[in-house]
Every structure is written in structure tokens, then in C-alpha cells.
């Protein structure tokens, strides 16, 4: 064999120009973003059957042999709800983004799976009436997230009219779990939502939990502060204002707000929060203030002042709590939304094996991290000589001294931020 004709391994760095010779095997992991984009453009020219779609990525519309595409016109569709869980630290949040992101989004993976299974005919969410219950940001997890959408059915139009035929329907939960990442798990389906059901607008309440280590914190004071969030308040100083939404009403209703110990996890606690709806980053801002109270930097009464726009016309500068410990724990819907949990029919494939493997791996990693932490602290103890503000990430932020919230600089008011955005939009038109 002539070894000179075999593919060569190319040594590429982030600063090298990508090699145009496609015969070579290239280590794309070492390429810069700009060089990767150049290569994608080259490949699009070479492969005209690859086309972009709505910020999700390239869609292959037919293979090289011209294989006939799936004929959705031969199948009925039905509107359903799906309930699922995901671990958010490997994702750029839940919702598909219009621009490129460093990490995929949860919906990116879900929409890919739906298309691969030929459950939907498009990568554009509006084409299949897609709606999500609660949008979570980068790093944030969810245990009972809900989406509603139109999907392909295995039943005929006549069969769809009779609930007794639902046993013959596609097992949406199982087939999605078989091909999607193990850190996303579907577990319930609503095959017959009530009329006008929408995952977002039909939701009665959202239930969040934030996990934190109580070491060095006054839990009783934090609980006193948490109770001050109860009821209807203006939360403009306890959120991040998104001027593009042009929000003018920052009043939200908090139904439950308390600090509880975390069962079977000594030293850990949960900020348990339930409300009808939440503003952008509201929960993480609420946690940040509670952690300041727990450290003794602020008193619980600071919450009364923050939700009073006469005392605080605009938000003081402070850091939000970390994203990883936050989870959208549950989404509550009316009783007429009937969820089918578990299997619709007997199955032969365990579609949770991958998740069990992920769970086991994380448990072992946690134990090893405990070993490492104990040994390092035992042999090389550290005493911090600077003030560390707890941000819920185990690291915090260091400073020479603490500046009370009422003496800090303030951000622009919501009205000013909204006007700046409108003026910028007008200039760009």
C-alpha cells in the first residue's frame, strides 16, 4: 500500500489558517471560531444540499442518493403537551437563540430529535405551534418543564376522535428518550389537552428551588427575609431589566417563599419559591439579597425597601447568585390537564439506562471531590484574610469591605432603560 496516499493528520492551532485540502484529517477542536465559520462556508459551497434553518444549524434536506423525503401529508397530527427534566449546566438555557451560542440550548436538542423522528416537519417552532412554560437561562435546570406542540400521529382522523385509541398512539416519551442526550429526560405526556391549552399561558404557577450551603449563614434571618417577598410587590430592583421587552409592569405575586433544610444533605438548604410568574433573573437576584442577609451584611428589612420604588427608584449594583444551584422544580396547570406518566404500552427497551449512567458518574465524581477537598484542606489549610461575599457558587466575591445596598451606585431606572432601547432601535432603522 502506498502510504503517501493515506490521509495525513494536520496539526492545527487556533491561529492557523484552515487547510482547504479536504483529503486531510483536521483537528477542528483547535481552530478559532472565525476559522471554523470560514470552513462551514466552504463546505456549504461544496454541498448545496445543506441549508441553514432558523438559527438551529444546517438541515440536510436530502441525502446524496436523492432519497425521497418523508411525506407528512399522509399522516394526521395532534396537539400534545410534554413534560420533561434536564440538567442545565451543559446548555445555553432552554430557548433556541437567534444568534450563535457557545453551548447548545435544550430546545436545540429537542427540535433536532423531533425532526429526526419525523414528529415535526420543520425546524421552525412556529410551524408546529410550539410553546414553552418557563424560560430558563444558561446553567439553570428544570424538573417539570412543559412544552406544547403539534406532532405527527399514528392514528387516523377517525381514531383520533376516540380516547380509547390513545393506547395505539406513538409512545412519544420513549422514542424521544431513546435518541436525546441523557441529561434531558421526557417523563409525561398529555395527549388530549383542554381547548386553547398553551404551555406558557395555561400555567398557573412556577415553583423554583435554589440549593445553597448554610455554612456561616444565619438561616433564621434569611427565612425572615424570605417571608417579606410574599404577596404582590414591584420587583424591578430584584431582577435584571430587559429593555427589548419594554416591560412597564414589574409587579409579581409570590405565593410561597421560605428557607428549608435539604433532606439527606447535612448543611445544605433550599430557598423554596412559588409564584404566578417571574421577571428575568428575578430568582437569582432574590437569592443574592438573602445571602447578604444571611452573612449579616444586610438586615431583612432591606427587602421592604427594595420592593418600594420610593426608597429605591432604581436597582443598586450587586451581583446575582450563581446559576447552577437554581432549578425550575415544577409548573402547575389546571386539573383538566391530564398527564400520562410512565409507559403507555409495555416496552422492551429501557430508555433511562443512559440517565442512570449519568447519575452514577456524577455520584462518583461527587465522592471523589469530597476526598480531594478533605485531603487538600487537611494538608494545606487556608484562612481567608479578605471579605468574601457569598454568591451561591462556593467561591464568592472578595472585597476589602462591604458597602451597604443603600449606599451603592444605582443603575438607570426602568423608564430610562426602555427609552434608551427605543432610541437605539429608531437610529438603527
The catalytic residues are 137
3-state secondary structure at position 221: helix
Cell numbers found for residue 324: 447552577
Strand partners, 151: 78
Distance of alpha carbon 72 from alpha carbon 78, whole angstroms: 13
The greatest distance separating any two alpha carbons of the chain, rounded to the nearest whole angstrom, comes to 83
Distance of alpha carbon 386 from alpha carbon 295, whole angstroms: 14
Report whether 322 contacts 391 (CB < 8 A).
Answer: yes
Among 123, 120, 169, 175, residue whose Cα is nearest residue 149: 120
**Residues near 307 by Cβ (< 8 Å), separated by ≥ 6?**
228, 229, 233, 234, 235, 237, 238
The CA R_g of the chain, rounded to the nearest whole Å, is: 26
Cell numbers found for residue 192: 388530549
Phi and psi torsions of 80, nearest 5°: -135, 170
Distance of alpha carbon 194 from alpha carbon 202, whole angstroms: 10
Among 282, 284, 287, 289, residue whose Cα is nearest residue 404: 289
Phi and psi torsions of 342, nearest 5°: 85, -155
Report whether 59 contacts 102 (CB < 8 A).
Answer: no
Among 152, 173, 187, residue whose Cα is nearest residue 79: 152
Among 371, 349, 353, residue whose Cα is nearest residue 361: 353
Cell numbers found for residue 109: 436538542
Cell numbers found for residue 264: 439527606
Name the burial class of residue 382, with classes exposed (0-12), middle (13-18) and buried (19+) by CB atoms within 10 angstroms of its CB.
Answer: exposed
Amino acid at each position: 500500500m502506498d502510504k503517501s496516499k493515506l490521509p495525513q493528520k494536520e496539526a492545527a492551532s487556533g491561529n492557523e489558517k484552515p487547510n482547504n485540502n479536504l483529503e486531510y484529517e483536521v483537528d477542528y477542536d483547535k481552530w478559532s471560531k472565525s476559522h471554523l465559520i470560514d470552513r462551514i462556508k466552504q463546505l456549504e459551497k461544496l454541498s448545496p444540499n445543506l441549508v441553514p434553518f432558523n438559527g438551529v444549524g444546517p438541515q440536510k434536506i436530502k441525502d446524496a442518493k436523492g432519497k425521497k423525503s418523508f411525506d407528512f401529508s399522509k399522516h394526521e397530527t395532534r396537539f400534545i403537551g410534554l413534560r420533561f427534566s434536564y440538567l442545565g449546566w451543559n446548555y445555553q438555557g432552554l430557548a433556541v437563540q437567534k444568534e450563535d451560542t457557545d453551548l447548545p440550548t435544550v430546545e436545540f436538542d429537542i427540535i433536532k430529535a423531533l425532526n429526526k423522528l419525523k414528529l415535526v416537519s420543520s425546524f421552525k417552532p412556529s410551524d408546529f405551534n410550539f410553546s414553552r412554560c418557563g424560560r430558563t437561562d444558561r446553567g439553570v435546570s428544570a424538573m417539570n418543564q412543559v412544552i406544547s406542540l403539534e406532532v405527527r400521529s399514528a392514528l387516523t382522523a377517525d381514531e383520533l376522535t376516540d380516547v380509547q385509541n390513545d393506547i395505539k398512539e406513538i409512545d412519544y416519551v420513549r422514542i424521544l428518550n431513546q435518541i436525546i442526550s441523557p441529561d434531558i429526560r421526557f417523563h409525561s405526556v398529555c395527549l388530549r389537552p383542554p381547548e386553547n391549552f398553551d404551555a406558557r399561558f395555561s400555567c398557573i404557577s412556577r415553583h423554583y428551588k435554589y440549593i445553597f450551603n448554610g455554612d456561616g449563614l444565619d438561616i433564621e434571618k434569611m427565612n425572615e427575609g424570605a417571608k417579606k417577598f410574599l404577596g404582590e410587590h414591584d420587583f424591578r430592583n430584584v431582577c435584571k431589566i430587559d429593555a427589548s421587552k419594554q416591560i412597564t409592569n414589574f409587579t409579581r405575586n409570590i405565593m410561597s417563599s421560605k428557607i428549608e433544610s435539604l433532606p439527606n444533605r447535612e448543611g445544605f438548604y433550599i430557598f423554596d419559591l412559588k409564584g404566578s410568574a417571574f421577571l428575568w433573573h428575578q430568582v437569582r437576584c432574590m437569592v443574592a439579597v438573602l445571602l447578604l442577609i444571611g452573612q449579616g451584611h444586610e438586615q431583612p428589612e432591606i427587602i421592604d425597601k427594595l420592593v418600594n420604588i420610593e426608597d429605591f427608584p432604581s436597582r443598586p449594583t450587586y451581583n446575582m447568585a450563581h446559576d447552577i444551584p437554581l432549578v425550575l422544580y415544577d409548573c402547575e396547570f389546571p386539573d383538566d390537564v391530564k398527564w400520562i406518566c410512565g409507559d403507555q404500552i409495555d416496552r422492551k427497551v429501557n430508555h433511562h439506562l443512559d440517565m442512570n449512567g449519568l447519575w452514577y458518574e456524577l455520584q462518583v465524581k461527587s465522592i471523589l471531590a469530597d476526598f480531594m477537598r478533605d485531603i487538600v484542606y487537611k494538608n494545606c489549610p487556608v484562612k481567608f484574610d479578605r471579605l468574601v461575599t457569598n454568591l451561591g457558587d462556593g467561591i464568592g466575591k472578595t472585597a476589602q469591605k462591604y458597602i451597604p445596598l443603600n449606599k451603592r451606585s444605582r443603575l438607570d431606572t426602568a423608564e430610562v432603560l426602555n427609552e434608551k432601547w427605543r432610541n437605539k432601535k429608531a437610529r438603527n432603522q
